[in-house]
């Protein structure tokens, strides 16, 4: 039924810095698997997948070619287009004439993409948009839908200060668009947004329906959001693990080729990527350690993200901090709360709370 699946992956991920200096958002791992892989696995039986990329597009291209071969291809945006502009650009370049499924490439979700396609087919509107219910204090971050009893979209309010008409249905960044909707996207210079430039115009002439998703949904826009996305995945897929000589407190995810020393304690809410090494009597909890991180004995890491191939020395203390790829932290160094360390840095002195080392 769908002509293509289009994954939007052109964002700069500025709020994820310094982690995003060395990887685009779709390659951030959730339980040691990049977000883009979760998405492609979910849509691969629906239609051929096109990924629209810009920032660090070559990294995405190489990963997709290596992992997915002919199931997905990458088109590189030549300039910032916005999500609507990217849809129009890909549709025009490929000459698409049928409906498409559009998925934001920076969202981690367990949505059933086939279910939203089926819902769209039954309702018969020009577009279907997935929404999730968010807390009242978070409605100002999203576009909020007001619907009727048939789940037809009546109004769409972008980032309101409080729930409009009591609605807390937030745009989940998954769309099914008929050709009429694609043709209605403005072709102009500058960025074109689906929420601002397309949905209001469609509402004047067509029916749009809302598909409510009630499972996992996280926009990994900040390090805190990224951690919570991993924790949500742990709550659903985390398993009890036993390792001789170590204390493992579920939920945890421990990838292949991980070494955990005697007397170490891991969890709850710990994700250890492939090749991670945890030294004796270290303590890791509420944290994500990406691939090939080394933690020497006696260290304490809590509430933190540690990037690939970083080295954490003996008796270090890292709490509520972000450490990018390839960082060397010397023995006995303390990294303070809300501190951030950029990639490929050597840290030989304590880092105070809130300090950023780019």
Q: Give pLDDT, residue 284.
A: 98
DSSP H or E run through 66? helix 57-68
11: which 2 tokens? 């964002």
| Domain ranges across the chain | 4-219, 238-357
Instruction: Starting at the earlier edge strand, list the strands of the sheet with 305-306.
Output: 252-254, 270-272, 287-289, 305-306, 322-323, 340-341, 356-357
Question: Residues with Cβ < 8 Å from 124, sequence gap 6 or more?
Answer: 207
| Cα 190 → chain centroid | 25
Model pLDDT, residue 157: 86
Which residues neighbour 166 within 8 Å (Cβ) at sequence distance 6 or greater? none
Secondary structure letter of residue 25 according to DSSP: G
Rounded to two decimals, what is the model's pTM?
0.93
Burial of 215 (0-12, 13-18, 19+ CB in 10 A): exposed
Are the C-beta atoms of residues 48 and 40 closer than 8 Å to each other?
A: no
For each successive 10 residues of the chain (358 residues), what is the average pLDDT? 92 92 96 97 95 94 92 90 94 94 95 96 95 89 87 89 88 96 92 92 94 94 95 92 93 96 97 98 98 98 98 98 98 97 97 96
Q: How many Cβ atoms are within 10 Å of 217's Cβ, its own excluded?
A: 22
Report DSSP state, residue 152. B
Question: In this structure, is the dihedral angle defined by the CA atoms of residues 317, 318, 320 and 321, taken in order, positive or negative?
Answer: positive
The residues pairing with 4 across neighbouring beta strands, listed in sequence order, are 100
Tokens 């030549």 belong to: 78
Task: With residue 302 as reference, give the H or E element that holds it.
Answer: strand 300-302
Residue 103, beta-bridge partner list = 7, 174
| pLDDT for residue 166 | 83
Q: What is the H or E stretch that residue 88 is in?
A: helix 82-94
CATH superfamily of 4-219: Spore Coat Polysaccharide Biosynthesis Protein SpsA; Chain A (3.90.550.10)
Q: Which CATH class is domain 238-357?
A: mainly beta
């Amino acid at each position: 039924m769908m002509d293509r699946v289009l994954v939007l992956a052109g964002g700069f991920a500025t709020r994820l810095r310094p982690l995003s200096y060395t990887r685009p958002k779709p390659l951030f791992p959730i339980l040691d698997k990049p977000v883009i892989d979760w998405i492609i696995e979910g849509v691969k039986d629906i239609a051929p997948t096109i990924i629209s990329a810009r920032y660090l597009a070559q990294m995405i291209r190489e990963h997709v070619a290596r992992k997915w071969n002919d199931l997905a291809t990458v088109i590189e945006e030549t300039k910032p287009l916005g999500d609507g502009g990217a849809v129009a650009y890909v549709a025009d370049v490929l000459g698409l004439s049928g409906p498409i499924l559009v998925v934001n490439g920076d969202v981690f979700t367990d949505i059933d993409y086939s279910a939203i396609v089926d819902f769209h087919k039954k309702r018969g509107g020009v577009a279907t948009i997935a929404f999730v219910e968010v807390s009242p204090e978070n409605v100002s971050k999203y576009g909020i839908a007001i619907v009727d009893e048939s789940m037809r979209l009546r109004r769409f309010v972008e980032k309101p200060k409080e729930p409009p008409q009591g609605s807390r249905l937030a745009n989940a960044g998954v769309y099914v668009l008929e050709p009429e909707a694609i043709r209605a996207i403005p072709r102009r210079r500058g960025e074109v947004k689906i929420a601002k430039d397309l949905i209001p115009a469609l509402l004047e002439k067509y029916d749009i329906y809302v598909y409510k998703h009630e499972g996992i949904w996280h926009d990994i826009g900040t390090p805190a959001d990224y951690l919570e996305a991993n924790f949500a995945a742990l709550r659903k897929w985390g398993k009890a693990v036993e390792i001789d000589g170590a204390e493992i407190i579920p939920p945890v995810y421990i990838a292949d080729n991980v070494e955990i020393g005697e007397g170490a304690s891991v969890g709850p809410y710990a994700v250890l990527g492939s090749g991670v090494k945890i030294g004796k009597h270290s303590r890791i909890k509420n944290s994500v350690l990406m691939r090939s991180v080394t933690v020497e004995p006696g260290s304490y890491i809590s509430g933190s993200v540690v990037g690939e191939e970083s080295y954490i020395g003996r008796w270090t203390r890292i709490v509520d901090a972000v450490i990018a790829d390839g960082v060397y932290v010397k023995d006995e160094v303390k990294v303070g709360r809300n501190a951030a360390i950029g990639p490929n840095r050597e840290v030989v002195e304590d880092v105070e709370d809130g300090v950023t080392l780019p």
